[in-house]
Amino acid sequence: MCTPNGVQSGKRKHRFPHKYHRDGTIVTTHALPNSVEAAGASEPKLLDRVRDRIRRLGYSRRTELSYVGWIKRFIVFHGKRHPSELGKADVEAFLTYLASSRNVAASTQNLALSSILFLYREVLECPLPWLTDVTRAKKPARLPTVLNRQEIQTLLTKLDDPLLDLVVRLLYGTGMRLLEGLRLRVKDIDFVRREIVIRDGKGGKDRVTMLPESLADRLKAHIRVVKAQHDADLAQGRGEVWLPGALAVKYPKAPWDWGWQYVFPATGFSVDPRSGAVRRHHVDEKRVQRAVRLAGQAAGIAKPVSPHALRHSFATHLLESGYDIRTVQELLGHSDVSTTMIYTHVLNKGGRGVRSPLDG
């Protein structure tokens, strides 16, 4: 049974077994005992129930790791007490600790809260009224980092790896998020219509963006190399790729089909942490992030350079060229045009907006 208020008695010293960067990512993690995994629950263990529920709802592997991690920290913070014994005050104490003592960002604090609410609503099935009353941290309004056209051109010249150069140019030329680009399948590129279909983007939505004319021939040549690699994998009894949802069950032969293969496959094979299957995954996103960061440093760009800054630059440069904001909204996949409007604030700064009185 879930208690309605989770009132605690006595003072207790909270010990948090993690060290964090300012953004809330873990620097070091100490192993948690088996009793924490159980957290007072009978078999199956509580965290196993969390994992099972996440997978049945079709959430991603990243969401699973994040939610399980935050739920672990919440339990340890409260002395390994079972969450059913805790309440609103305990949740807010944990969030306050993150904000005041760990100095995590508002987005990280909200992620922790989402993980805890998922535990109560989806796993413990506690219909507690206070769940909706817990206040989320307000995200500060910030302008995106945008590279000007000259900075983009200089950045691209500093990418030495031909594969990563192609990936980065495609990200900037289409406005795709990093993982949207790396998860791109062969079947979703239409060279005749010069368009790319982005499947299962943020929020599980599909959308269409353009295929840059300047990359078409180079992308065709790259795909021919990938096809030869896939044929070699098939000859060795491999060639399987991960498919989302239950597609692999509905279409048993699809994981080996050419159209489902990643456009940017990894150089080696890896083990699926959920199923244990050995497959060729896509290029590691950290490899692209590191290459973009180092290229930005080599180009002498003082701004923080990341793959997502390329997406911001894509949107801003389209608006600068006079394209309608609704068109840019569709290309980016934003549900609300107000999200796209942030780029108009970038346009209104500097030389394209108000003229300084000093220049009068």
Distance between the two ends of the chain, CA-based, in angstroms?
71
CA distance linking residue 194 with residue 347, whole number of Å: 28
Rounded CA separation 257/240 (Å): 8
What pLDDT score does 128 carry?
66
Is 59 one of the catalytic residues?
A: no
Active site residue: 207, 230, 311, 317, which one? Answer: 311
Residue 158 neighbours by CB under 8 Å, 6+ apart = 294, 295, 296, 298, 299
8 A C-beta contact, residue 121 and residue 41:
no
- Note the pLDDT of residue 2: 64
Q: Which of 80, 158, 238, 308 is catalytic?
A: 308
Asked whether 70 and 112 are in contact (CB, 8 A), the reply is: yes
Q: Which amino acid is at 56?
A: R
Q: What is the chain's alpha carbon radius of gyration, rounded to the nearest angstrom?
A: 24
* Active-site annotation holder among 73, 78, 177, 222: 177
308 is catalytic: yes
Q: In whole angstroms, give the CA distance from residue 104 to residue 190.
A: 43
Q: Which of 148, 141, 180, 178 is nearest to 342 (CA)?
A: 141
pLDDT at 135: 65
Of 46, 50, 126, 123, residue with least CA distance to 86: 126
Q: Report how far Cα 141 is from the mean position of its chain's Cα atoms.
A: 20
Task: State the catalytic residue, choosing from 49, 82, 102, 202.
Answer: 202
Q: Is 177 a catalytic residue?
A: yes
Answer yes or no: 334 catalytic.
Answer: yes
The ranges of the chain with pLDDT < 50 are: 4-43
